Chains A and B, each alone.
Chain A
Amino acid sequence: MNTFRLTAAGIFVVCAATVSLMLGGCALRSPQGCTPLPGYGKGVVAGYPQSESHLQPLFGSLPILGEEVWVVARSRSISAPYREEIPGQGSLVVEEEKGRRVPLPLKHTDVKATIQGYIATVKVVQQYENPFDHKIEAIYVFPLPENAAVNEFIMTIGERRIRGIIRDRAEAEQIYKEATQQGYVASLLTEERPNIFTQSVANIEPGKRIDIDIHYFHTLAFDDGWHEFVFPMVVGPRFNPPGNTNEIAALPSDSQPDTHGKAVHYLRPTERSGHDVAVHVDLHAGVAIEELACATHAVEIREHSPTHAVVTLRPEDHIPNKDFVLRYRVAGERLKAGLVTARDERGGFFSLMLYPPADLRHAHRQPLEIVFVLDCSGSMDGKPIEQAKAAIRRGLELLQPGDSFQLINFSMSAGQLGRRPLEATPQNIERARRFLATLNAEGGTMMIEGIKAALDFPHDPERLRFVCFLTDGYIGNEAEILAAVQQRLGPARIFSFGVGASPNRHLMDSMARLGRGAVAYLGAEDEGAAVMSAFFERIAYPALTDISLDWSGLRVSEVFPARTPDLFVGRAVTLTGRFEGNLPDRLTITGQVGGRRVDVPVQIEQSERSARSIASVWARTKIATLTDEMLKGEESLGNSIRQLALDYSLTSPYTAFVAVDSAASTPGESKTVNQGVPVPQSVNFDRTVSNSE
């Protein structure tokens, strides 16, 4: 028994202690002994006490493989106003039948999220209705957060609710196929990418409605004092290079059902789906919420107490064509780390978020070798490429004497400014500006060419190489790209710069994580220059490195990432693992700052939390780690991922949820209807979808 237990007391939902962790004090240990480190003190805001001269450049210890991704900037776009010409808006319909227009089957998506501390529990209900006069099978390809641990799936038919079963993916697909052919209502949830899922619902009778409930957990990202909750709403159109066998095609909504692989069916600019979305976020921060903002959508915010707020999407902004991004900042220096634990029959699980020290701004950076890589494919046409160019121009301005740079562009092939990186002289920078001005967006996205051009040249050991990819990431061969990053990375760090209203966050985050670097997101209305400035700001300071934890006798195991990432200015790190034994009163975090050892005692405060959430987050993180390992060619790890996903009831590339209502079957075949979706805001349909046919 894993997830529940019946006791004589009659209450058998597994509860686990939730622990929040407050720093009780800290010490900076010099070679001679310990001195206080005010930046970590409870309620204390102060800088490091040592002088600049004691700090060394610390770029050699940027994040490594398997680490938590580092986010340096996020979309701060202002919500776009309602406009009839935006695909997907309004309530018109697209599916033609017998001369009449009928709506697509997905009517509504209802999102209810509860955030406790930095862990979100999200329930998504998709409401399907059959407007046709015959049975249908509805297929909908949709996004979820990359780190979502999807562990619950329920199909509702009228008043009846049927819990789906996690199965080996091939087995689930076979069961679904057989049930569909025999006329039973059935549903299947498969994971195409960590952030792309396909929902299939078969044998929906005319006029009938079927709801699909999907539950997941995930940890929130942290950026410069802000936590961020993201609910992605649409999958961007992917470019699939020739020969890609695992594609997610981008097809017009009126194209024939896809028979080879997965496809997203996009509405034409003149089409409307009638599908809308409601979002409700119940935020329990645990400490006082100082600021709360949603820059992507119009929302209503109700503050119930200093630590509790409820955020609701306003009805006028209910079209799912861009990511919903909610950010909140909690009371400044009081919370420096957060530990959440839970126990069940399998043992203890924990999630630990380490927040960066208040001030690491005491050292100059070492010379940089910056390689700007600009995606000039068709999907970047218009605002995205202009934003990306603005970001590069700012990057060029921020180069300092002693730095060097290169500028690479790619679409179907790659080009570059110089044969080798150029010294950051005024003349070369001006030359780069002129080159940049000539670049336009058109053609496919052969990102592999950009990867090769950016990573396949000799490294200058005197400089820290950062490769900045500026792209929307709309490709279908992510695995090939990520494998290439691993193979060719060398000493470089990758800064992936996500552009657009719904960038491919899985690709961008994974590139940054595998590339030991950072990621930033630039919304449709954001200033590219500001985000590039934030990136340079981050890499201009040292970090708390070589971090280790003294668990005070607590037995911990299977902690991911295996090596604790460095703590940079503005960057938090989340660890998740298993433990045995009693929780101590405090932990000690030890690290290096400028060659000095820092000991940070951390006081623990316990509270209740569901074991399902923490165990699911742990298992999902382990799956992500194993998936990264597979990029090195460790194919046998697929079985480990499959077993882990089955044990913890999680979707994965190797598992899927299936539900069948065997109580009744109906005659006749289902006609497959692919749920058309709008292209993301600011994406040009003609340059992305049509070209992908």
Chain B
Amino acid sequence: MIGFRALIAGALLVAIGASAQEPAFRAVDLFVDSGSQPLAAYQLSFHSTGASVKIVGIEGGEHSAFSDPPYYDPQAMQSNHAIIAAFSTATADQLPRGRIRVATVHLRISSDRTPEYQLNVQAAATPQAERISVVTEAKERTGL
């Protein structure tokens, strides 16, 4: 009887193991659209819902002013919440305007549910230290 129970337990474990999904790695691009204003500094808050997600890297953006990877808040990161910030001391004519990718967040997703991404701007500014309104978007890269 004991042997039979062990056999069933073993079979269950095998079944569980077989169904466990391999984690996926995904890249999510973070965009900021400053319109006609030059973007000199930003601070963004990124997190995801709906799935178990861990942040495994933060990449710099496409424009030379923001190509270095932004710093993150280590305490927020412990709950996989990325608060990132960067600035550039370049002059206005060397700063990006319009919609640019300012960073890419690399993720490990361990569930089969599709995560939803939330990106909020905490602040954005021009070289003259004036706060500006910007539009943000977090978009998962596809076709990898």
Picked from B57, B83, B122, B128, the residue with its CB within 8 Å of the CB of A659 is B57
Cα A166 to Cα B54 in complex, Å, equals 12
How many chain A residues touch B (Cβ–Cβ < 8 Å)? 40
- A161/B104 in contact, CB under 8 A: no
Question: In the bound complex, what is the Cα–Cα distance between A163 and B73 (angstroms)?
Answer: 12
Q: Is the CB of A2 within 8 A of B73?
A: yes
Residues of A within 8 A of B41 (CB): 6, 10-12
Q: Is A28 an interface residue (CB 8 A)?
A: no
- Give the contacts of B86-128 with A (CB-CB under 8 A): 87, 104, 106-108, 122-123, 125-128
Chain B nearest CB, measured from A184 CB (Å): 6
Out of B69, B74, B126, B131, which one reaches A166, CB within 8 Å?
A: B74
Q: Which residues of A contact B42 (CB under 8 A)?
A: 6
B59 close to A162 (CB less than 8 A): yes
B22 touches A165 (CB 8 A): no
Known interface pairs A1-B83, A179-B25, A665-B25. Does A165 touch B58 (Cβ–Cβ under 8 Å)?
Answer: yes
- Is B126's CB under 8 angstroms from A10's CB? yes
Contact indicator B25/A182 (Cβ below 8 Å): yes
CB distance from A459 to the nearest CB of B (A): 47
Instruction: Encode contact with B along A641-667: 1 for CB under 8 Å, 0 otherwise.
Output: 000001111000000001111111100
Closest to B44 in A: A6
Q: Chain B interface: which size bin?
A: 35 or more
Complex contact B69–A162 (CB within 8 A): yes
Cβ-neighbour of A660 out of B56, B67, B130, B131 (below 8 A): B56
| Residues of chain A lying within 8 A (CB to CB) of residue B106 | 162, 659-663
What are the interface flags for B59-98 relative to A under an 8 Å C-beta threshold, 1 for contact and 0 otherwise?
A: 1100000011111111111100001010100000000000
State whether the Cβ of B43 lies closer than 8 Å to any Cβ in chain A: yes
A163 x B69 contact (CB < 8 A): yes
Give the distance in Å from the alpha carbon of A159 to the alpha carbon of B123 in the complex.
Answer: 27
Residues of A within 8 A of B83 (CB): 1
A6 CA to B125 CA, complexed, in Å:
9
Instruction: Indicate whether A13 reaches chain B with its CB closer than 8 angstroms.
Output: yes
Inter-chain CA distance A390–B74, complex, in Å, is 51
- Residues in B24-57 with C-beta less than 8 Å from chain A: 25-27, 40-43, 54-57
- A160 and B75 contacting across the interface, CB-CB below 8 Å: no
The answer for the CA separation of A1 and B104 in the assembled complex, in Å, is 20
Cβ of B1 < 8 Å from any Cβ of A? no
Whether A6 contacts B122 in the complex (CB less than 8 A), given A12-B87, A179-B25, comes out as yes
Known: A1-B83, A660-B25. 15 other contacts (CB 8 A): A4-B71, A8-B129, A8-B131, A12-B43, A162-B59, A167-B54, A175-B108, A178-B108, A647-B75, A658-B56, A660-B56, A662-B25, A662-B27, A662-B57, A662-B108
Residues on A lying within 8 angstroms of B by beta carbon are: 1-4, 6, 8-13, 154-155, 159-167, 171, 175, 178-179, 182, 184, 646-649, 658-665
24 A–B pairs (Cβ distance < 8 Å), ordered by A: A2-B75, A6-B42, A6-B85, A8-B130, A11-B87, A12-B87, A154-B69, A160-B60, A162-B59, A163-B70, A163-B72, A165-B55, A178-B25, A182-B22, A184-B25, A647-B78, A648-B74, A658-B56, A658-B57, A659-B106, A660-B108, A661-B59, A662-B56, A662-B144
